Structure 1
Amino acid sequence: MKYPLLFLSCLFFYSLFANGQDPVNRATISGYVREKGSQEALIGVNVYLPGTATGTTTNTYGFYSLTLPQQDSLTLAFSFVGYETIQQTVSFRRNTELNILLIPGQLLSEVTVTGNRTGEEKVSESARMSTIDIPIHQIKKIPAFLGEKDVLKVLQLMPGVQKGSEGSTGIYVRGGGPDQNLVILDDAVVYNANHLFGFFSVFNGDALKSVELIKGGFPARYGGRLSSVIEMNMKEGSKEKLHGEGGIGLIASRLTLEGPIQKGKSSFLVSGRRTYLDVLARPLIRAESKGEAMAGYYFYDLNAKMNYDFGRKDKLYLSGYFGRDRFFARETPKDELKTKTNTGLYWGNGTGTLRWNHLFSEKLFANTSLIFSNYTFQIFADEESTRRNGSQLETDTYRLRYSSGIQDISLKYDLDYYPNPQHAVRFGVQTTHHKFTPSAIVLKDTEAERFRTEVDAIRVQESGIYAEDTWKPTSRWRVNAGFRLSHFQHKAVNYFRPEPRLSAAFVLKPDFSVKASYALMNQYVHLLSNTGIGLPTDLWLPTTDRIKPQQSEQLAAGFAKDFTKAGSLFRGLTLTVEGYYKTMKNIINYREGASFLLIGNPESANEVRWEDNVTAGRGWSYGGEFLLQKKVGRFSGWLGYTLSWTQWQFPELNFGKKFFPRYDRRHDISLVGIYELSPRITLSGTWVYGTGNALTVPLATFTTRPHQPITDPSNGFSPGGYFPFFGQTANDYGEKNSFRAEPYHRMDFGIQFHKKKRHHERTWEFSVYNLYNRRNPFFYALQNNAAGQTVLKRYSVFPIVPSFSYNFTF
């Protein structure tokens, strides 16, 4: 890290020098924008001079800075979706600090929230493209499966994002796999974002402040993945008074508390969620058992955050997440001579982030983060057998533990520099120590006299240094240019990879612009999966001397339009249309017949390396996306459409020919609507359609001829005899994924009833998943019908599923 640190130091001292050399007729106004009442920092607030194109936005911590010509008085406007726009006039003859508290707006008021604000940075005025943010209040109003609001399932409704199997939270962005999504929670990477084998995600919406999805044109500050960045930030907690919210649903309940530790200076947030499927099933299991028995499944999440404000220049944040899924089965027979068993599996994530904000000057903002992330998966099996040996009782014990996981410790340093309204510069460095454990085995078998402890740990180092500038060279051009240099070290193997990034927008006329972007990305970690649905058996593994880093190049172009004209039927809408072309190199997959069990086989763990079970190949993805979105007002929602093609090619799969991966979909449509019928009633609905998955299914079945004589002794059998496997059946699968499943479509509907009480507000919500009971395909299998014919049968999982929940805030 010697040269990256030298580079950062040069940039840092240049920033200090430039800050001290401002002409005498210029000054800087800076400060923080927070929510009135809770004092929660607001991300992405537009700060601008009314009637001009001069402005900026707040960063992740609510900080902004503008350097402008000195004048007797200066008027700034502050606007943010869902909040009332305010204007503030101050004397501006010297550097000025201006902190703002925005008031949450009434979402039913079109004029207050979406008025024509001519200096606000709109979608058409931003250099960035392929970026989507969804307000949390919208996520909470969209109907959800079994009433559990899910951030990742809402992201699946966006163009360019393909969902996985029925009901799952799997995300496939522009032809990429689930391992190519960088999922960040308060700077910490979350490696497995699934509960219940992918039917729910680990993110509790009550604890989140913001959600942003980036599909292309990636800023240089992001690295390590090929296809997308999903960045989420947790709430900080109210600094003024105690608040809470929660809910009780069919399968889970949740509770969030936030409030001041020291009023106006520090605050806390604690949020928890747990299912109770195991509690509901316990009486049924015990009733059927002849002894003491217990089995079940549950998952839980815990989010926590606290912060302390040391004054204008320093702030400290400590946040963390911990969650776990657990399947278990225990049985203790009444007969002491029968076997006691305790089996199951569990997996979970843990993250922790310590962040320090420091303001060097009105133009230079710094953040230092110490980050911990841990993902573990374990299978366990315990058996205890008692036998009688004469007059003595002897006990044999069998115990097996198989585990895998990944653990990260990272140090990250970022600087935001605002030299003038035409430039917003960001640069920084991050280094991460990865510890991969693809296989850890503990085996104890007293009867066979076997005792074994074996841990296969791999330690690697990943680093990156970046610099980027959001530049407004003229009133029409918007540019985000950046460069990232990534480094990866595994033993004596080193990879240095440059990653240029560029996004640009040209404003053809007010509220309309054309855009283009280019990004080169590298990925040094790999996910081995032969299911594609995010099971905990999926393995995270590093780049090695035999497995090269994954790499992608993506080009995108399109246009953006904001509808802001007063009185227009479309006022408040934004329209984006994009086309993209992406190539991927060194993507990996299992060889035919291989799985994670071969890696963790106790008998061959020292003989088979995981690299022996994989093959590397290439991928191509291209298509077009359409999004018409409205974020606020009595009626909000979006219409999205994706037309795309994705192909993979591996030398050792499908005879080396190109094939469509499972989740390649030609057409994908999503329609989401939320209507505030009155302050007390909210209606919502979604409709989705997608081309069927590409699957490999048997095309024909053959039976070998009986009593076929052996004529060639070279095959190892004696001439004159007969093959021992005559009369066996075999399937002909044809080319890989050559079968298309039936199209997928579904409608969901929800209604919320709100009522404000004296000290709290309660909401009853009723929703229906798959309203018209569409039998969507989950998997196919060959079966014999009544006529003795072999047919392909479709199996569905979720019919119409009603649900309800009770939610409250105080």
Structure 2
Amino acid sequence: MTRCGPARQLPELEFLVPVTGHRLRWTGSPRIAVAAHWGSDVLDLQAYQPSGERLEVRDEAGWGMLRDAYEALFVVRPRETAGTHSLALEATLEWDDGGGRNRMRAFVIPLLAALAFALLAPGAGAAQDPSSPGWRLRVLDAVSGAPLAGVVVNLPEAGAAWATDSLGVAAVGVAESGAPLRVVVDRMGYQLVDTLLVSPAGGGTTELRLERAAVGLPALTVGAGRAGGGSRELARVIFRRDVAVGAVGMTAAQVREVPAVGEADVLRSLGSLAGVTSVNDYRAGMHVRGGASDQVGVLWEGVPVFGPYHMFGMFGVFNSDAVESLELYKGSMPARHGGWLSGVVAARQRTGGDSGVRGRGGLSLLGVRAAADGSLPWGGARWLAAGRTATVDIPGLGGPYSFHDVNLGLRLYPGKAHRVGFSVLATEDEFAWDFGGGDWLDSRWSNLVSSLAWSWVRGDRVSGEVAAYASRYEGSLGTGAGPSPPVARNEVFLRGLRAGMTLRGGRGGARAGLAFEDAPVSLDGSGEGAFVEGDASGSHSQLSAFAELERWFGPLRLAPGVRAVVERSSSRRLFEPRLAARLHLGPLAVSVGVDRTHQLLSVLHDDRYPVPGAPMWFAREGGRPASVADGASVALDVWRGERWTGSVVGWARSFRDVPSWRPAAARVVSDMAFHDGEARGWEATVQRHFGRVRGWLSYQWSRTRFTDGGGAEYLATWDRRHEVDAVVAVTGWRGWSASVRGAVATGTPFWVPLRSYPGLQYDPNTIGDDRFGDESRDDGLRGLGGNGNQFTILSNVQGRVPYYARVDLSVSHAIRWGSWEIAPFVSVPNVTGHANPYSYRPRHYNPDPPPGGSHDGSLSAKLQIPPVPFVGADLRF
């Protein structure tokens, strides 16, 4: 800093700095501080306020983009005004990288190096004695009336300039009085004045008052290094947006921290959360709040996905490289997510970056996946493309199993308040297995899901969205003898249009919307012996409207809502009211909710003899009732700083008219029965979001039972009374990381085998004919299931398999070369080798039993996943 001339006092200056173009990676809530220095003086920060836009988390690592989002206003109160000073701005970012809060001076930017603040402009004359005759100009602050020193008074036509003295006076020498003169008055921190003045005859003083104007400076950019996932931030977003009891979120980073079979699986990882139950290791289908897996809606960018699993339900169709986050609503769902009985999984697609093309992918024993994202030079566009393919050759089967999926995404920002998003998800599964002896199982299914949405905001109070979408599902299931068995075919082609608006206020808000959906649903079998016989096609066409209100009464947040549905095919009118409330008590919150939901689309599955393969959807037409669920729940949520959160939830739910299909003499949909049931339970979770060691521990207890048409009670096959789940991820030294998942649970119910016959395990005609010469079979039963050349008939008695215990382990090591990163990994499920049966079957069939003996032998267990290591590598660049 250089000083010259006498020291004089000066009114304060204001500098306005747009803090713009943030590209941050963080966990928790980053705090940005901006400081300024004028020479050796530290300036006062007058204001640091939003300028209209909000922070948006954009990917699983917590990347955020903040454009023109904040303005920092500084006030300069320098002790000296003469000389040349430099103004420097520095930005400090506080963030959490998983190991505690950090403070980093990200950039120090000399925005105005050697900023001239000279009292005299080049060529200007010296300040004049105020006692000398002539015309004087006095320049004052318009607000305070204080004299302004160092103001340049310029007469362009005369080619002369003067500067005001400490009294704010400049003695202007003019050739003649009474003539209009152009006067330009300029002073940093004030608006420029360019006007015509008439010099008074005989001299005198003219006052000019200057209005303040902050000095606009170039944008200040702040950046910080990469941190962990934003699980705490996602939990906070869900908690603040909705009063939904028990709602949870999971980022893609958390998905990768759950040890997996083959590779990270988005939907299967949800099974480690409290309140989510799976039947066995081979099915990733979720059971929530006592409901069947098809009663949990799976949404991709708000659009239903009717075939959300690969490999007969073992893996989810969502590529972990294309997912930003998941939200799981358990029972207590917002009105806008109505139409599903027990829960909703809402998945968001990851958006592209803005710093060139980035890539990621992986190779494992399961298959290959790849993803790329980037930006385009128009409309702020960001794009994403991802794909995955796998071919699994399973020993003992006649052919390999293959599946594929593709994701495409494009997001445009045509204006500061507008966003246009386009998304496509395409999946395909195919297998044809020969079990020997002419026993075949052949299935194919695919999804094509697309959406086009336009959203806009007006200030921080109004936002809206309009979206058009489609979801097409096609599935076929061939069961029976020979390479061309009878085939059941299913197609759902849903098309929809929805619009919604959200209003926010200081003490409340509202959200409302309309949706129209039309979906022809075809379901038919090619002949006798197909999974389903005859034609059971229908239509799913409905108009729905929802409204959600919110009102604060001190610490109490009340959130009622309603959804109304008009079904076109049968003119049914369904109403789904709900009421939720939350009481905030510092670091505690108590939430309660009651709700009613309906469901009109369901999967046709054989309750006794499940068949792996494509799900078969059917619509409720022809007088079939809509399924109804009524629920109540209460939760206590607690948080300790940014690291720890916990919750305890209790819930109860009743079901009416839930479809149950147990075909006997013929496999027709008309044999469909509708059962009632009830479920209740409670769950507790504690989670550590940040640090080298993070993860969650949960416990749940639940009971689910149904009553058939004859009044007999039975337990749902997903009735797992007790379950403890724990996931721990450890970030190690020099790129090493490890994660472990442990689960201990009560065994699930199963139907006890009654007897067995020789036959084909996937041929419905096996039972009820005499092709094997067994004259004792006169019960007329037909079904699916068995063991090779042996078919098992189940009794009406239920048992429960032994307890379930499993520990999975995954270890990886990240190796970096510049912008490239490769992370080889090994993942081992069930490392302890615990035998986890999920059902039983007769050990063998005895065609010639001794006198008084039985055709059946002893029972053997159907075991779940053994300890098989999976190796692979993840790649980023």
Find the aligned partners of 1:314 and 1:78 in 2 and give their Cα distance. 15
Instruction: For residue 785 of structure 1, report the CA deviation from its aligned partner.
Output: 10
Find the aligned partners of 2:615 and 2:418 in 1 and give their Cα distance. 41
Q: Measured at CA, do residues 795 and 142 of structure 1 come closer, stay the same or move farther in structure 2, by a change above 3 Å?
A: same
Partner SS, residue 355 of structure 1: strand
Q: Measured at CA, do residues 219 and 641 of structure 1 come closer, stay the same or move farther in structure 2, by a change above 3 Å?
A: same
Instruction: For residue 157 of structure 1, report the CA deviation from its aligned partner.
Output: 1.0
Question: Corresponding residue for 1:481?
Answer: 560
TM-score under structure 1 length normalisation: 0.73
Q: 2:536 touches 2:618 (CA, 8 Å); kept in 1?
A: no
Partner SS, residue 659 of structure 1: strand
Question: Corresponding residue for 1:744?
Answer: 804
Q: 1:239 touches 1:262 (CA, 8 Å); kept in 2?
A: no
TM-score under structure 2 length normalisation: 0.68
Q: 1:84 touches 1:104 (CA, 8 Å); kept in 2?
A: no
Find the aligned partners of 1:300 and 1:551 in 2 and give their Cα distance. 35
Question: Corresponding residue for 2:489?
Answer: 403
What is the aligned counterpart of 1:644 among 679, 702, 715? 702
Report matched runs for 1:109-508 at 5 Å.
Answer: 109-110=100-101, 127-146=243-262, 148-262=263-377, 265-277=380-392, 295-328=399-432, 344-360=442-458, 362-379=460-477, 402-418=488-504, 420-439=505-524, 441=526, 457-474=537-554, 476-490=555-569, 493-508=570-585
Partner SS, residue 591 of structure 1: coil
Q: Measured at CA, do residues 592 and 358 of structure 1 come closer, stay the same or move farther in structure 2, by a change above 3 Å?
A: same
What is the aligned counterpart of 1:682 among 712, 723, 737? 737
What is the aligned counterpart of 1:582 among 650, 653, 656? 653
Q: Which range is displaced more, 662-671 or 478-487? A: 478-487
State the identity %. 21
Find the aligned partners of 1:384 and 1:779 in 2 and give their Cα distance. 27
Find the aligned partners of 2:652 and 2:424 in 1 and give their Cα distance. 37
Q: Measured at CA, do residues 729 and 524 of structure 1 come closer, stay the same or move farther in structure 2, by a change above 3 Å?
A: closer
Partner SS, residue 698 of structure 1: strand
Partner SS, residue 269 of structure 2: helix
Instruction: For residue 33 of structure 1, report the CA deviation from its aligned partner.
Output: 11
Instruction: For residue 524 of structure 1, report the CA deviation from its aligned partner.
Output: 1.3
Q: Measured at CA, do residues 376 and 507 of structure 1 come closer, stay the same or move farther in structure 2, by a change above 3 Å?
A: same
Q: Which amino acid aligns with 1:530?
A: D
Q: Which amino acid aligns with 2:411?
A: N
Tell me if 1:806 matches 2:864.
Answer: no
1:710-741 deviation per Cα after TM superposition (whole angstroms, max 9, x unaligned):
xxxxxxxxxxxxx9749999999997452111
Structure 2 residue runs of 5 or longer lacking an equivalent are: 1-17, 34-44, 75-90, 104-226, 529-533, 758-773, 782-790
Q: Measured at CA, do residues 627 and 692 of structure 1 come closer, stay the same or move farther in structure 2, by a change above 3 Å?
A: same
Instruction: For residue 89 of structure 1, report the CA deviation from its aligned partner.
Output: 5.2
Q: 1:82 touches 1:104 (CA, 8 Å); kept in 2?
A: no
Q: Which amino acid aligns with 2:711?
A: G
Point out the structure with the larger helix share: 1
Q: 1:576 touches 1:627 (CA, 8 Å); kept in 2?
A: yes
Report matched runs for 1:533-552 at 5 Å.
Answer: 535-552=612-629
Tell me if 1:518 matches 2:594.
Answer: yes
Q: Which range is displaced more, 303-312 or 574-583? A: 303-312
Find the aligned partners of 1:688 and 1:799 in 2 and give their Cα distance. 15
Instruction: For residue 619 of structure 1, report the CA deviation from its aligned partner.
Output: 1.0
Report 1 or 2 for greater relative contact order, CA contacts < 8 Å, sequence distance ≥ 6. 1
Structure 1 residue runs of 5 or longer lacking an equivalent are: 1-30, 51-70, 93-99, 286-293, 331-340, 386-397, 444-453, 565-570, 600-609, 703-722
Find the aligned partners of 1:676 and 1:796 in 2 and give their Cα distance. 33
Find the aligned partners of 2:478 and 2:701 in 1 and give their Cα distance. 45
Instruction: For residue 266 of structure 1, report the CA deviation from its aligned partner.
Output: 0.9
Instruction: For residue 262 of structure 1, report the CA deviation from its aligned partner.
Output: 2.1
Superposition RMSD in Å: 4.4
Q: Which amino acid aligns with 2:865?
A: F
Q: 1:45 touches 1:78 (CA, 8 Å); kept in 2?
A: no
Q: Measured at CA, do residues 153 and 34 of structure 1 come closer, stay the same or move farther in structure 2, by a change above 3 Å?
A: farther
Partner SS, residue 149 of structure 1: coil
Q: 1:46 touches 1:78 (CA, 8 Å); kept in 2?
A: no
Q: 1:194 touches 1:534 (CA, 8 Å); kept in 2?
A: no
Q: 1:84 touches 1:102 (CA, 8 Å); kept in 2?
A: no
1:147-196 deviation per Cα after TM superposition (whole angstroms, max 9, x unaligned):
x2111211111111111222320111011001111110012101121111
Question: Corresponding residue for 2:97?
Answer: 106
Instruction: For residue 442 of structure 1, report the CA deviation from its aligned partner.
Output: 10
1:416-455 deviation per Cα after TM superposition (whole angstroms, max 9, x unaligned):
212x232232111111001101116599xxxxxxxxxx97
Q: Which amino acid aligns with 1:574?
A: T
Partner SS, residue 522 of structure 2: strand
What is the aligned counterpart of 1:621 among 658, 667, 679? 679
Q: 2:449 touches 2:471 (CA, 8 Å); kept in 1?
A: yes
Partner SS, residue 348 of structure 1: strand
Q: 1:36 touches 1:101 (CA, 8 Å); kept in 2?
A: no
Find the aligned partners of 2:19 and 2:338 in 1 and give their Cα distance. 28
Q: Measured at CA, do residues 558 and 594 of structure 1 come closer, stay the same or move farther in structure 2, by a change above 3 Å?
A: farther
Q: 2:551 touches 2:559 (CA, 8 Å); kept in 1?
A: yes
Q: How many residues align?
A: 658
1:613-666 deviation per Cα after TM superposition (whole angstroms, max 9, x unaligned):
200111100011111112222111111111111111121xxx421111111011
Q: Which amino acid aligns with 2:495?
A: I
Q: Which range is displaced more, 638-647 or 750-759? A: 750-759
Q: 2:756 touches 2:845 (CA, 8 Å); kept in 1?
A: no
1:348-401 deviation per Cα after TM superposition (whole angstroms, max 9, x unaligned):
11101011123355532111111110111125799999xxxxxxxxxxxx9976
Instruction: For residue 319 of structure 1, report the CA deviation from its aligned partner.
Output: 0.7
Tell me if 1:635 matches 2:693.
Answer: yes
Q: Measured at CA, do residues 124 and 179 of structure 1 come closer, stay the same or move farther in structure 2, by a change above 3 Å?
A: closer
